[in-house]
Amino acid sequence: MVENNFYQINEIRKYANANKIPIMQNEGIDFLTTFIIKHQIKNVLEIGTAIGYSAIMMALCSPNLKITTIERDEQRYLEAVKNIKKFNLEKRITLIFNDALNVKIDEKFDLVFIDAAKAQNIRFFELFERNLLDNGYIITDNMYFHGLVHKNIKEISSRSLRGIVRKINDYIVFLKNNDKYTTTIYDIGDGIAVSEKKWEVF
């Protein structure tokens, strides 16, 4: 990463930290960018832009990569627009300001990256798998949900957190039982699921 990019990325991280905006952990972003390079990913659909950090990091790791990313929070979306401009990545990162559950895209991608409302993962997966190319991947972040997924649910005092943890557990079962994909959950960052679409045999 060139020095100025490094400075700007650090500024985005500081902004996220100061404003309590959840962005990917370092380990997670390293995994994602390495995955993109290793699998020669050409285009990504990201659900959950926040302020554009992961989209920018993905774009910087691979010079021809194109990304379409969706965010429903206006303030975060506007911040993402600014950040993407700072990196001159407007031609490679397309931002959509909307609730992803209301978005219909015709384009096909070789990677769908789900990093939005954790309780909605199954809905995002079912909605956007139609945008996946035959040999594509769906990656989902926060499978451990800050370690809470490994806790006894009765020990989690917040009702809403218990609800999210239950939904993530439902998502894990959904992925394991989904015979169209092979899913591996990696013990990296906050837990990353990689679902690889199986080749269809006719």
What is d(CA 28, CA 192) in angstroms, rounded to the nearest whole number? Answer: 7
- Contact predicate 81/95, CB 8 Å: yes
Q: How far is the CB of 154 from ligand SAM (least distance, A)?
A: 26
Among the residue ranges 69-77, 85-93, 125-133, 181-189, the one whose residues contact ligand SAM (CB under 6 A): 69-77
- Contact predicate 18/82, CB 8 Å: no
CB closer to ligand SAM, 23 vs 132: 23
Q: What is the largest CA-CA distance in the chain?
A: 53
Q: How far is the CB of 50 from ligand SAM (least distance, A)?
A: 4
Tell me the three state secondary structure of residue 5: helix
**Footprint of ligand SAM on 13-42 (CB under 6 A):** 22-24
148 is a site residue for ligand SAM (CB under 6 A): no
What is the x/- site pattern for ligand SAM, positions 96-115, by CB under 6 A? ---xxx-------------x
Q: How far is the CB of 163 from ligand SAM (least distance, A)?
A: 15
Tell me the three state secondary structure of residue 147: coil
Beta-bridge mates of residue 45: 68, 112
Contacts with ligand SAM: how many residues (CB under 6 A)? 19
Q: How far is the CB of 69 from ligand SAM (least distance, A)?
A: 8
Q: How far is the CB of 138 from ligand SAM (least distance, A)?
A: 14
CB closer to ligand SAM, 116 vs 143: 116
Pairing relation of β-strands 93-97 and 181-186? unpaired
CB closer to ligand SAM, 93 vs 116: 116
CB closer to ligand SAM, 52 vs 136: 52
Ordered strands of the 93-97 beta sheet: 93-97, 66-71, 43-47, 109-114, 132-140, 192-197, 181-186
Nearest-5° Cα angle at 71, 68 to 76: 120
Instruction: Give me the residues that bind ligand SAM (CB under 6 A), please.
Output: 22-24, 48, 50, 53-54, 70-73, 76, 99-101, 115-117, 120
